[in-house]
């Protein structure tokens, strides 16, 4: 061996050592502080509940998420009598991440089954810790492989920076939604298999196609929105197919057919879950609001673009991905593979397509855009590694290949050791025993899932309802002789309790866990019989407005008019000022009698919180600012259902009173 060859071998060995040390650093650093799974809020409870179903019912039985608790069927029967439109109460009667489905007549879990299935395969009480270790090591192995493909110091520096940033951001979203670490676990392997898939019929390539099909199917089983990443996989393979030299034959389709076949097989559980839960294989178990897209709201789109690219932590990975895809081809003076240009275009199109899709959704959540960014970044690193390699596309020498083997074995052993040694999670939650009574009805916000998962007590998210629906539900449940308890654990729950009247609730104890404490109340049902039973929706029968009578009285006091409206419901329809649709409010205006043909708009408002039974009257005080200019004015008072209609348009007479203002004499008087 010449001195030149010896020096070259020493350099390679040193670089192997540096790559190994880099992989070890990432593995140790990003698994040093692992999060624990705890069923609270929406996603964490939902996915752990899913895991629980698989553990209790088996694989096929766990796909059916219909709730069988007696409290659930009771609440549905009560709510269906409040309003025939199930959308007004489908979320209110269900726990977090559940809703009532009209087709199957059952309360179901909204998430696809993939995440819960994978959680059920992991060590009990170590689910999230295990996911965290596997997610980190999956990314580290990709980092190891891409450096082995390139085997240059420059690539090592660039890939180390990208890998560090990517992992540093990814681990911040493990608790937000357990579907994120599951998705992140698969994406590096999907990128790797997509990179190595070819248009050949060798056993190795067909195995790659099979594995890719299974992983792509699991990706959709875990998060349906991840379907938007799959065009990148298809586009990259089509580019390879087009650029494959030599004579084309049908044999080039064998690999993609196998990939598609196993993809279809893997998404079968998702299709079956949709069928049994919501009555159709291609129907989504997500609620309507979660499926909504708004194409005509330009402000929403602009705000969401800014949010996903600048206003959250995941935007760091998104911007890094975009910059890397645009700049990586210029980062090397060596020849890239012929497909690199097409791959770049495909990744950019998929990146932009995902951005547009999520910007159309009314809810923007930081981790929504993270999966496509990570996939593009992983595949971009692989593509970049071959372009920066001194060997280009030629076969790699054995030293480069075996670099990854001992490191992989070490990382796998480390994962097993880390998961084994991680202590099982201990959850410490206490609640008043009385709320666990099977005959009682429990309402809770973020803690409802906690009580169901650890105590087996059903709860519904009352804070998802309007004032009218909530008051009607409480009233009718009380009339049915059921005790009702509320955990005041969200701002909306507190607001509802204040609106209904905090004096109607008696504090009986606390919900306590290791990090929070929330007050638990019992609903006082002694006045339930006094409230009228109404449908909470009069939008289909607004003609009753013609029989609503307003009587105005009051006097001027300084620069204000202190008024009183007596509202009388002479119709046979009881109604709420907080219906399911827009709220009903009092509105007034001062019309200059000399400009009676050009009255000002109705701008003033007063919130109303009441249920008005047939034949009932209410006194409503209000204070109106007087006009600044002197003159003779007509004060008009009416009712409006916000976003829908004015009551006078349906026959109600406005109540009026003449007000004379003489500012020059500083003498404000009232004249009826």
Model pLDDT, residue 643: 82
Model pLDDT, residue 422: 86
At 514-525, the pLDDT tens digits run 889 999 999 998
Say how many C-beta atoms besides its own lie within 10 A of residue 463's C-beta: 24
Model pLDDT, residue 411: 86
Residue matched to tokens 């990314």: 139
Calculate the alpha carbon distances from 238 to 194, 201, 228, 258, 423 in Å.
11, 16, 17, 15, 47
26 Cβ contact partners less than 8 Å away, ≥ 6 residues apart: 136, 139, 140, 143, 163, 164, 167
pTM above the 0.75 mark? yes
- Determine which helix (DSSP H) or strand (DSSP E) holds 286, and give its type and residue range: none
Burial class (CB in 10 A: 0-12, 13-18, 19+), 255: buried
Model pLDDT, residue 135: 95
Helices 179-196 and 230-243, packing angle to 10 deg: 0
At 404-413, the pLDDT tens digits run 778 888 888 8
Model pLDDT, residue 27: 93
Say how many C-beta atoms besides its own lie within 10 A of residue 434's C-beta: 13
C-alpha–C-alpha distance, residues 388 and 333, integer Å = 8
How many residues appear in the chain?
A: 672
C-alpha–C-alpha distance, residues 429 and 161, integer Å = 41
396 Cβ contact partners less than 8 Å away, ≥ 6 residues apart: 148, 149, 151, 389
- DSSP one-letter string for 45-90: HHHHHHHHHHHHHHHHHHT------HHHHHHHHHHHHH-S-GGGTT
- DSSP one-letter string for 390-434: TTTTSPPPHHHHHTHHHHHHHHHHHHHHHHHHSPPP----B--GG
What parts of the chain have a pLDDT lower than 70?
1-8, 244-248, 328-340, 387-403, 539-541, 663-672
Model pLDDT, residue 582: 82
Tokens of 541: 């029968």
């Amino acid at each position: 061996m010449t001195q030149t060859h010896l020096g070259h071998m020493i350099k390679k060995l040193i670089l192997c050592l540096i790559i190994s040390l880099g992989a070890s650093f990432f593995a140790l650093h990003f698994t040093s502080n692992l999060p624990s799974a705890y069923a609270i809020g929406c996603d964490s409870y939902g996915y752990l509940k899913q895991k629980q179903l698989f553990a209790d019912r088996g694989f096929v039985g766990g796909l059916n998420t219909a709730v069988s608790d007696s409290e659930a069927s009771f609440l549905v029967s009560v709510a269906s009598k409040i309003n025939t439109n199930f959308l007004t109460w489908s979320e209110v009667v269900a726990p977090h991440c559940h809703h009532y489905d009209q087709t199957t007549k059952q309360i179901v879990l909204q998430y696809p089954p993939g995440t819960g299935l994978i959680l059920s395969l992991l060590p009990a009480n170590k689910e999230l810790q295990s996911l965290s270790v596997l997610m980190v090591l999956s990314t580290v192995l990709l980092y190891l492989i891409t450096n082995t493909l390139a085997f240059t110091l420059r690539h090592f520096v660039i890939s180390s920076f990208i890998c560090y940033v990517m992992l540093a951001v990814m681990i911040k979203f493990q608790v937000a939604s357990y579907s994120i670490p599951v998705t992140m676990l698969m994406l590096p392997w999907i990128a790797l298999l997509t990179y190595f898939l070819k248009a050949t019929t060798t056993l190795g390539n067909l195995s790659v196609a099979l594995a890719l099909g299974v992983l792509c199917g699991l990706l959709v089983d875990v998060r349906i929105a991840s379907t938007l990443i799959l065009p990148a996989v298809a586009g990259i393979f089509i580019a390879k197919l087009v650029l494959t030299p030599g004579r084309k034959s049908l044999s080039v389709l064998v690999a993609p057919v196998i990939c598609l076949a196993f993809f279809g097989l893997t998404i079968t559980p998702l299709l079956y879950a949709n069928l049994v839960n919501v009555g159709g294989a291609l129907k989504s178990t997500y609620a309507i609001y979660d499926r909504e897209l708004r194409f005509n709201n330009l402000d929403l789109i602009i705000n969401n673009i800014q949010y996903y690219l600048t206003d959250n932590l995941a935007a760091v990975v998104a911007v890094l991905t975009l910059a890397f895809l645009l700049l990586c081809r210029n980062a090397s003076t060596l020849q890239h593979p012929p497909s690199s240009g097409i791959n770049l275009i495909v990744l950019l199109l998929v990146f932009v397509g995902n951005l547009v899709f999520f910007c159309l959704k009314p809810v923007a959540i930081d981790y929504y855009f993270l999966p496509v960014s990570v996939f593009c970044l992983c595949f971009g690193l692989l593509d970049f590694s071959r372009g920066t390699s001194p060997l280009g596309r030629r076969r790699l020498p054995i030293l480069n290949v075996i670099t990854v083997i001992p490191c992989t074995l070490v990382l796998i052993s480390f994962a097993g050791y880390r998961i084994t040694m991680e202590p099982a999670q201990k959850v410490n939650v206490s609640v008043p025993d009385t709320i666990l009574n099977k005959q009682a009805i429990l309402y809770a916000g973020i803690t409802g899932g906690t009580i169901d998962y650890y105590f087996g007590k059903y709860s519904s998210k009352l804070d998802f309802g309007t004032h009218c629906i909530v008051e009607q539900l409480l009233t009718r449940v009380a009339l049915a002789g059921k005790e009702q308890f509320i955990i005041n654990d969200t701002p909306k729950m507190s607001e509802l309790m204040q609106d209904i009247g905090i004096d109607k609730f008696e504090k009986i104890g606390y919900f306590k866990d290791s990090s929070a404490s929330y007050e638990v109340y019992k609903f006082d049902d002694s006045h339930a019989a006094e409230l009228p039973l109404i449908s909470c929706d009069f939008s289909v029968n607004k003609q009753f407005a013609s029989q609503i009578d307003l009587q105005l009285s009051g006097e001027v006091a300084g620069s204000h008019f202190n008024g009183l409206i007596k509202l009388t419901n002479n119709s046979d329809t009881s109604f709420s000022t907080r219906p399911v649709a827009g709220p009903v409010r009092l509105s007034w205006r001062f019309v200059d009698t000399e400009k009676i043909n050009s009255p000002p708009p109705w701008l003033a408002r007063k919130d109303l919180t009441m249920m008005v039974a047939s034949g009932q009257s209410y006194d409503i005080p209000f204070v109106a600012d007087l006009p600044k200019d002197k003159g003779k004015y007509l004060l008009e008072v009416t009712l409006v259902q916000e976003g829908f209609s004015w009551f006078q348009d349906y026959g109600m007479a406005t109540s009026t009173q003449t007000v004379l203002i003489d500012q020059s004499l500083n003498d404000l008087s009232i004249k009826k």
